[in-house]
Amino acid sequence: MQSIYMTEELELIRAQIRRFVEEEVQPHGEVWEESGEIPRAMFTRMGELGFLGMCYPAEYGGGGCDTMVSAILAEELGRSTFGGFSAAVLVHTDMASPHLANFGSEEQKRRYLPGICDGSLVTAIGVTEPDAGSDVAGLRTRAVREGDEWVLNGSKMFITNGAYANVYFIAARTDPEAKGSQGISMFIVDKGTPGFSVSRKLDKMGWRCSDTAELVFEDCRLPLGNLLGELNKGFYSVMKNFQNERIVIGGMAVGESEKALELTLDYVRNRKAFGGALIDKQAIRQRLAMLWSKLEAARQLLYHTTWLDTSGADCVKEVSMLKAMSAELVNEVMYDCLQFHGGFGYIKECAIERMARDARILPIGGGATEVMLEEVAKRFDL
């Protein structure tokens, strides 16, 4: 379906990303799934192609584009059928590094952004803790100033790129007297910093080719210059970037849904049962038609919400709607697509089996569906 938000330039960018996914990701994804790791060369390759810093200024090696390009990148990576690959890249481009781009000092940007754009540095964001996920205000990691250093103590859980990254952006409480969302700050932590360790990699249901880890900080000492943004204002940094994060999760969900429906349509056209192709069965044909209809609604909401965000509008309501609806929809799509594949859909050699597992995290990560719906409800005075 056409969209008023898509330009010829954006469609050219889409075509370039799709070609890369089809030629350089899909042929190798199964190997990455088995090894549980994406080769670092994939990041440098994406850096060469200009895909890792498309929304950052050219002076740092970026492309100077806006959030619409992030949405397209997320869609096309979602079409890869390897959710772990999509997650690893999008955490780097749109969930972690924007904290630096939006709130970093000039010295910090010049130190890190070129490597982020060319793929020589991989980033991760550390907000979630064992007892604080969607409830960011409940985090317990502490940072205390001692002379000309900050000392971090605490842990982070479910961190994508946790073992893989070179640079981490960590949220910690810097004012123990402040309540709730107050008194939180962001810090830059380089891999190898004494007192910082990856305690374990987590064995997940899906996203098998991306690493997810628990991070531990035990008297981890950082220079004062590693404070990212304003002291005690880190909560606002996290909330601001949640908008971008939720838009790209919406883009992932749209791309994954579209690819799953394409694969399923091809399958039911060729699978013979009860004297004809499955597509000839009205129940299947109409169900797929409804799923395509819902997908197009989600896609148009994705583009409109992204346009609002790019325009500087207050779009928390729309972003929350997008995140909730698209994340639930992709799981509805995967359920039916697997059903229509029959027993084959339950076998690991079928892409739908993997995609169904990968999709299950989307209503949880980046703000659970229930949290998103509460954001919507507040804005309707429900």
Beta strand pairing call for 184-190 and 142-146: unpaired
Q: Give the Cα-Cα-Cα angle 77, 79, 84 (nearest 5 degrees).
A: 55
CA dist 73 and 244 (Å) reads 13
- Give the contacts of 121 (CB within 8 A, at least 6 positions apart): 112, 115, 166, 167
CA dist 209 and 124 (Å) reads 16
Beta strand pairing call for 149-160 and 212-223: antiparallel
What CATH architecture is 235-379? Up-down Bundle (1.20)
Active site residues: 245
Asked if 317 and 379 touch (Cβ cutoff 8 Å), the reply is yes
> Per residue in 28-74, pLDDT tens?
999 999 999 999 999 999 999 999 999 999 999 999 999 999 999 99
Residue 130 confidence (pLDDT): 85
CA atoms within 13 A on the CB side of 151: 7
**Where are the chain's structural domains?**
8-122, 124-232, 235-379
CA dist 377 and 173 (Å) reads 29
Residue 133 confidence (pLDDT): 65
What CATH architecture is 124-232? Beta Barrel (2.40)
* CATH homologous superfamily of 8-122: Acyl-CoA dehydrogenase/oxidase, N-terminal domain (1.10.540.10)
Residue 1 confidence (pLDDT): 67
pTM over 0.85: yes
Q: Which residue has the tokens 């990148």?
A: 73
Residue 240 confidence (pLDDT): 87
Residue 371 confidence (pLDDT): 95
Residue 138 confidence (pLDDT): 78
- What are the percentages of helix, strand and coil residues in the chain, rounded to 5? 55, 15, 30
Residue numbers of the chain with a pLDDT score lower than 70 = 1, 133-134
Beta strand pairing call for 276-277 and 272-273: antiparallel
Query: How many residues are given for the chain?
Result: 382
> Per residue in 132-181, pLDDT tens?
766 777 789 999 999 999 999 999 999 999 999 999 999 999 998 887 77
Tokens for 301, please give them.
């909401």
